[in-house]
Chains A and B, each alone.
Chain A
Amino acid sequence: MSHQSRERRRAVGLALPLLLFIVVTFVAPLAAMLVRSIHDPAVVDALPETISALEGWDGQGLPPEEAFAAMARELVDARADRSLGKVASALNRVQGGLRSVVSRSARSLEGVSEGPWREAMAGVHEAWSDPTTWHAVLAAGQRFTLRHYLGALDMRRLPDGSLARQPEDRRIYLPLLWRTLAVSASIAVICLVLGYPLAHLIAISPPGRANLLLALVLVPFWTSLLVRTTAWIVLLQRQGVVNDLLAAIGLVGEDGRLALIYNMTGTVVAMTHVLLPFMVLPLYSVMHGIPPQYMRAASSLGARPAQAFARVYWPLTLPGVGAGTLLVFILAIGYYITPALVGGSSGQLISNMVAYHMQTSLNWGLAAALGGIMLAGVLALYVLYDRLVGVERLGLG
């Protein structure tokens, strides 16, 4: 065995704990969550015979008697072993109102012991005489399903199997997705415009002052995200510092105070501030490594300052520009605390919906599908970046 390969093995061995840590705390949970977006066994596990009876149904009119019988029996069983709630939640998401149909029917059917089940169930709740109810049961009963992804794209499957867009007043995720991409892109551009001159200034400053400037960039970076966001609330609210100042010098009247927060403006301002260091640091590390002789050489060869910048300096900083922009953009796509606090109703991003479905509605399948779409989008951007610029040129500092 050569000396080199032993060295490499030792290095890999030392990195193993980290690898294990990442697999356990990151890769495995991520994979488990993504599986949830296509795997939803709650209904079929609780109502297996109903679903298999429905699979033989031609979809016209009402399903066969055996489906009614199986449903009546399995609803009562599900209530007994307390899996009914999950069934009710899953069905209610496919068709609003089924939650109470299911829980009320399960309670009423407890005392019913014989058929004909079609009449018995119709007597318990009229919804069972409506074919759309059974289509909803069948749709929710698919163990592997794309319906969370359809939902995340504001689509739904009609009973005849065709796809349709959601009614207009229920379309939210696609507009929110576009908005998130647009906001993240604008924040990345704003950060670049603000951060580029600053990074340049730090790079050409003498070491003492450069350290001071870097510290000024890093101190907010080390401050808690919540503190910084709350500080923006104090500054930007209607009775806040900025508006007070504008009103005091007469730029705006007392009634015309600007709405700077609880809207998109607030989200963009606060997120730009929070993400700026992620732009400045990679830019600085690339600029720091550019010898000043290059620019001097360019001007001694006759280039005007703008020309020298465009042909020499800017191309040399591109790895930093790419890294900073990509970093800020990707971080912005996943941001949710800042928009939740300062975004009001118009400054919400897609991650706020993910948080809502994780924490409040408990629709983890839909949350996973939304996350999966964002993940795919970010990966696509990464591939695009690799094709256009080349990942090996990413200067992360």
Chain B
Amino acid sequence: MIRSTLFVSVAAAAVAGIATPRQLEAQSVTAVSWGGSYGRAVHMGVNLPFTQETDVRVIVEDYNGGLAQIRAQVEAGNIQWDVVDLEIADMARGCDEGLLEPVDISKLPPGPDGVPAVDDFVADAHAECGVGQLFWSTVYAYNTQTLESDEQPATMADFFDLERFPGRRGMRRVPQVNLEFALIADGVPTDEVYATLGTPEGLDRAFAKLSSIKDQVVWWEAGAQPPQMLADGEVVMSTAYNGRIFNAQVLEGQPFKIVWDGQMLDIGVLGIVAGTPRLDEALRYLAFATTAESQARIGNRISYSPARRSGTAMIGRHVLTGLEMAPHMPATPENTKNSLRFDWRWWADHQDELNERFSAWLAR
């Protein structure tokens, strides 16, 4: 695979070398993001203003997460991607494996109020090889029209309560987040979830809770699926990324409701692929994209919270509909009363064995 990539890329580079003058090539940066409505928000909120300000062209590519492509590019010595929107767990791993460039946070611009970047970012929002961009959240949402119950679900426990709220559930087909949700629903306080999961009994408890709804679960893989399954009536409730549900609510008028109780906050970070020949442009892009203004421009298009404190103050109304954004933001205080921050360090240690156990559990 690597050799074939190499072969193709040598050929492509030869063609590109003939086709475009060098100066033009240097004036572009390839930014890789998640596509969909989020990708559009990034394009409008960051890429276009960046090109306007710096004259550097932004080439947009979409991907589905993971480090496989970055690793293939770095190992083949043929870097196509420059800046990548990463999950923080992948960023940490890519950093350890030498796939990402170290980024010096103190070189980033201060907040508009003059607070240095180091203090402007919320805690644990940057690391050696990545800078926090936005908080997103895994929540569960339900379709108010297909739910056959007089009550409204309000807690994580309700998601697992098939008696009061009968109907199928959608969940992502990975152990991450689901095990945490199961423990929260089983009565474990959010600040003890990872300590409980770390014990064999706690792990069994989480799997037992998941088993109690297993035959009602429809598993999804891509973030676009939950809103679709809710709209089709395939499920009555589903875990989902909050921005996707927001879009379905606001732009498509779907009768969905988000339950913020027990939500899992996670942060998306920007990293630079190690060895990119366009390091200067990549650094400029990263600095621009993580300013409070850029983060707020995205946050006013899709409900993901800025990782800079100063960015939160700039969140106002939705660009297209004029809707007040704050109530829809995952990091808004009303929504984080009973919430959990995804512990990627814990998962880095346990994902290999838990993925196997989860797959075996699924197949049973």
Binding site for B on A (CB under 8 A): 24-25, 28-29, 32-33, 82-86, 88-89, 92-93, 96-100, 103, 168-172, 175-176, 179, 237-239, 262, 340, 344-346, 348, 353, 356, 358-363
Contacts and interface: CB of A to CB of B under 8 A. Distances in A.
B351 interface: yes
Contacts of A96: 349-350, 352-354
Contact of A32 (B2, B218, B353): B2
Contact of A82 (B97, B221, B233, B355): B97
B81 to A, nearest CB: 15
Interface in B334-364: 345, 348-357, 359-363
B233 A238 contact: yes
A360 B363 contact: no
B255 interface: no
Given A84-B96, A89-B97, A99-B349, A362 B71 contact: yes
A127 to B, nearest CB: 11
B326 to A, nearest CB: 35
B161 interface: no
Contacts of B68: 358-360, 362
A262 B238 CA distance: 15
Interface residues of B, number: 39
A343 to B, nearest CB: 9
A84 B98 CA distance: 9
Contacts of B98: 82-83, 85
Contacts of A348: 362-363
A340 B350 contact: no
Contacts of B352: 92-93, 96, 361, 363
A170 B173 contact: no
A85 B93 contact: yes
B67 interface: yes
14 contacts: A28-B3, A32-B2, A82-B96, A96-B349, A99-B348, A100-B348, A103-B96, A176-B363, A262-B218, A340-B221, A348-B363, A356-B355, A359-B66, A359-B68
A24 B1 contact: no
A123 B300 CA distance: 49
B34 interface: no
A24 B359 CA distance: 35
Interface in B218-263: 218-219, 221, 232-234
A364 to B, nearest CB: 9
A85 B95 contact: yes
B335 to A, nearest CB: 29
A85 B123 CA distance: 24
A176 B217 CA distance: 21
A24 B233 contact: no
Contacts of A93: 352
Nearest to A358: B68
A96 B357 CA distance: 12
A92 B95 CA distance: 17
Given A25-B7, A345-B219, A170 B353 contact: yes
Kindly list the 7 A-B residue pairs having the minimum CB-CB distance in the complex, ordered from nearest.
Answer: A85-B96, A85-B97, A82-B98, A96-B353, A345-B362, A359-B68, A239-B233
Nearest to B93: A85
Given A29-B4, A96-B352, A169 B95 contact: no
Interface in B303-354: 345, 348-354
A32 B97 contact: no
Given A85-B93, A99-B348, A344-B218, A28 B359 contact: no
Contacts of A29: 1-4
A360 B68 CA distance: 7
Contacts of A176: 363
B345 A100 contact: yes
Contacts of A98: 349
Contacts of A238: 232-234
A94 to B, nearest CB: 9
A169 B93 CA distance: 27
A348 B356 CA distance: 14
B219 A262 contact: yes
Given A84-B96, A348-B362, A358-B68, 15 more contacts: A29-B3, A32-B3, A82-B96, A82-B97, A86-B97, A89-B93, A100-B348, A170-B356, A238-B234, A239-B232, A340-B221, A356-B355, A359-B68, A361-B351, A362-B68
A171 B348 CA distance: 21
